[in-house]
């Protein structure tokens, strides 16, 4: 049975936010976007190779989303100075917003997994809390880049090495504090209401790093365009 998530659902009002942009001069806010549909991806920090890959997917999708009248935002829990350094070498047309404390993730109701104490007798309830044993037993290979499915934390190490991505102290700090934050994707319509939503790994840790496909995102964006035209 799938646990009920606190994440916002279609029909809910998007929460207010105002975040600094790593690749634009001004902060971006919900109020400033009013009247314009947008896709917002709430990711982990740049330390996460899966999130970096999804950011590249966002970049490739942006022309089609713009054609559908949908703007694209990516929120990462990386400080803006670090994000700007990264984007000097990996630029993107997507507006990248920085929220190092994951406040926006929480406001949208995207869960953060908590490990139960070793002596806890409470029954694990993914994704709210789990045992380290359950998490350690998971094997993932969402992009098919590794030789075989790999434990999630080890997969991070393998893919970061493959990318030549060197973690700085700030990345390690973010990872230590927010490494179990899950990822959420939300389409917000012109009125500021959630029109479509997906949250990572809702059924268990084997879904970590698996995000909506380009086809699903484009289909949802086109649905918004059709609804807006009525």
Quick one: tokens of 185? 């994707």
pLDDT tens digit string along 203-229?
A: 999 999 999 999 999 999 988 876 765
* CA-based nearest residue to 69, from 95, 94, 39, 42: 39
Instruction: Quickly count: other Cβ atoms within 10 Å of residue 163's Cβ.
Output: 13
| Contact in structure between 10 and 195 (CB atoms under 8 Å) | yes
Angle in degrees, CA 86, 25, 220, rounded to 5: 75
Quick one: tokens of 97? 């917003």
Cα-to-chain-centroid distance, residue 96: 12
**What local confidence, expressed as pLDDT, does residue 1 receive?**
36
pLDDT tens digit string along 157-175?
A: 999 999 999 999 999 999 9
CA distance 31 to 17: 8
Q: Of the CATH numbers 3.30.565.10, 3.30.450.20, 3.40.30.10, 3.30.70.1230, which one belongs to the domain with range 36-229?
A: 3.40.30.10
| Contact in structure between 171 and 96 (CB atoms under 8 Å) | no
What pTM was computed for the model? 0.93
């Amino acid at each position: 049975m799938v646990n009920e998530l606190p994440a916002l659902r279609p029909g809910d009002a998007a929460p207010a936010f105002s975040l600094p942009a790593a690749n634009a001069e001004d902060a971006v806010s919900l109020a400033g976007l009013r009247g314009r549909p947008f896709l917002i991806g709430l990711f982990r920090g740049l330390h996460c190779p899966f999130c970096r890959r999804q950011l590249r997917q966002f970049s490739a999708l942006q022309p089609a989303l713009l054609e559908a009248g949908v703007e694209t935002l990516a929120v990462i829990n990386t400080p803006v100075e670090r994000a700007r350094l990264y984007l000097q070498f990996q630029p993107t047309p997507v507006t990248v917003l920085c929220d190092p404390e994951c406040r926006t993730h929480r406001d949208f109701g995207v869960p953060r997994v908590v490990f139960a104490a070793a002596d806890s007798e409470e029954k694990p309830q993914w994704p709210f809390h789990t045992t380290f044993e359950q998490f350690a037993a998971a094997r993932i290979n969402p992009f098919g880049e590794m030789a075989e499915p790999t434990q999630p934390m080890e997969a991070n190490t393998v893919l970061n090495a493959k990318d030549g991505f060197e973690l700085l102290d700030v990345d390690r700090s973010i990872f230590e504090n927010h490494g179990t934050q899950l990822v959420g994707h939300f389409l917000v319509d012109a009125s500021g209401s959630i029109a479509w939503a997906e949250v990572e790994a809702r059924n268990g840790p084997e879904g970590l790093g698996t995000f909506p496909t380009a086809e699903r995102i484009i289909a949802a964006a086109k649905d918004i365009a059709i609804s807006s035209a009525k």
